[in-house]
Amino acid sequence: MFLRRLMGLFSLDMGIDLGTCNTLVAVRGEGIVLNEPSVVAVRKGTNEVLKTRDGEAVGLAAKAMVGRTPGSITAIRPLKEGVIADFEITQAMLSYFIRKVHGNRAIAHPRVVIAVPFGITAVEKRAVLNSAERAGAQRVYLIDEPKAAAIGAGLPIHEPRASMIVDVGGGTTEVAVLSLSDIAACTSLRVAGDDMDEAIMNYMRRTYNLMIGPQTAENIKIQVGSTAPLPEETKTEVKGRDMISGLPRRAVVTSEEIRESLKEPVGQIIEGVLHTLEQLEPELAADLVDNGICLAGGGALLRGLDTVLAKASGLDVRLADDPLTCVARGTAECLENLDAWAPAMDSDEDEYQ
């Protein structure tokens, strides 16, 4: 125990949020040290990470390439809809991020806590554990993402009372109720931020005959997206390719139009949350009358999502502080208290050996 504590002082223990959109790394005592898109550029048909003049094309460098790659290169998001769609590339990405955080620091062999989507299979867990080990981790612990999100959001999950977290990410929305430090109910909805982007792309195509890429759609969503009337409605300029002439052009859309286009994915998220609530044990449901719902994840930043969810559920809904970093901060908090948390987490010592 003493030795482990001592090593903890010198090694660079880290918490990792392996998200479908973004990967974040938090280091004990330093906070969030890396925040990059979960994207890797590879040579088509291979698992070979593209090397550019500035180094390996992973994260920010790779995201800038999405939709702009020549035929021989593809920019891949190795995690899709909350599951690992591509093992080897996930591994390459994780390894790149761990090495990047490690940099030239002399002492290696960190202990690593990784938040993984709830409901991934044992094989997928093994793949994540292996990747982290190959990247130099000495001990690896896996924690369910909704639990990490709840810890990061500061919910009192240790108590014998229900706390509810809704984490709206890129690929999935995880809806979880926790009590006594564990998950009492959890649903993973396959509708989240990416579907909002897609809805905007479809709207632009149908209404303006304008084809736009996913990044443009995401920018529009972030700039003017909403779920309820805004105090001041706005407009934004959108650029893409005209479907009839085939030529590049611009169009102007209003925030009202974008709101209309987002109705479907937003409606599905709300339905999913209500459905989870309907299936809860009565005591847990009763606790939520007082405790309400906490929103986390980047998708929670969509203007007015908290208000429409509150209206639909009749519960108090609040946005976590800094929703995009909740999961990573939660993993870092587990690191602080590894002795207390470790028994509740999957690690490379037990069933995955």
How near is the Cβ of 258 to ligand ADP at its closest, in Å?
11
How far, in Å, are 138, 276, 317, 333 from residue 313 at the CA level?
44, 11, 9, 30
Q: In terms of CB distance, is 238 or 269 closer to Mg ion?
A: 269
CA distance 152 to 321: 9
Q: Is the dihedral of CA 140, 146, 149, 153 positive or negative?
A: negative
The piece of 15-23, 80-88, 211-219, 257-265 that touches Mg ion (CB under 5 A) is: 15-23
The answer to whether residues 330 and 19 touch, using CB atoms and an 8 Å cutoff, is no
221 is a contact residue toward ligand ADP (CB under 6 A): yes
Question: Which of ligand ADP, Mg ion, none is residue 193 near (CB under 5 to 8 Å by kind)?
Answer: ligand ADP
Is 336 exposed, middle or buried (CB count within 10 Å of its CB: 0-12, 13-18, 19+)?
middle
Is 232 exposed, middle or buried (CB count within 10 Å of its CB: 0-12, 13-18, 19+)?
exposed
19 is a contact residue toward Mg ion (CB under 5 A): yes
152 CB-side CA count, 13 A: 35
The answer to whether residues 85 and 78 touch, using CB atoms and an 8 Å cutoff, is yes
How near is the Cβ of 127 to ligand ADP at its closest, in Å?
18
How far, in Å, are 144, 216, 234 from residue 219 at the CA level?
29, 5, 14
Phi, psi of 177 (to 5 degrees): -115, 130
The angle formed by the CA atoms of residues 254, 218 and 128, to the nearest 5 degrees, is: 160
Q: In terms of CB distance, is 19 or 152 closer to Mg ion?
A: 19
Question: Which of Mg ion, ligand ADP, none is residue 175 near (CB under 5 to 8 Å by kind)?
Answer: none
How near is the Cβ of 221 to ligand ADP at its closest, in Å?
5
The answer to whether residues 157 and 147 touch, using CB atoms and an 8 Å cutoff, is yes
How near is the Cβ of 169 to Mg ion at its closest, in Å?
4
Structure tokens that stand for 210 in this block: 């304008």
Question: Which of ligand ADP, Mg ion, none is residue 299 near (CB under 5 to 8 Å by kind)?
Answer: ligand ADP
Q: In terms of CB distance, is 78 or 193 closer to ligand ADP?
A: 193
Question: Which of ligand ADP, Mg ion, none is residue 110 near (CB under 5 to 8 Å by kind)?
Answer: none
218 is a contact residue toward ligand ADP (CB under 6 A): yes
CA distance 115 to 142: 6
- Helices and strands, counts by H and E, the chain: 12, 20
* Binding test (CB under 6 A) with ligand ADP, winner from 11, 14, 22, 61: 22
169 is a contact residue toward Mg ion (CB under 5 A): yes
Interface with Mg ion (CB under 5 A), residue total 2
* Binding test (CB under 6 A) with ligand ADP, winner from 7, 66, 222, 285: 222
* Binding test (CB under 6 A) with ligand ADP, winner from 11, 20, 163, 347: 20
How near is the Cβ of 199 to ligand ADP at its closest, in Å?
12
The piece of 180-188, 214-222, 273-281, 311-319 that touches ligand ADP (CB under 6 A) is: 214-222
Nearest to 284 by CA among 189, 175, 185: 185
Residues within window 278-297 making contact with ligand ADP, judged by CB under 6 A:
297
* Binding test (CB under 6 A) with ligand ADP, winner from 15, 59, 193, 272: 193
The residue ranges that bind ligand ADP (CB under 6 A) are 19-22, 169-171, 193-194, 218, 221-222, 225, 297-299, 301-302, 324
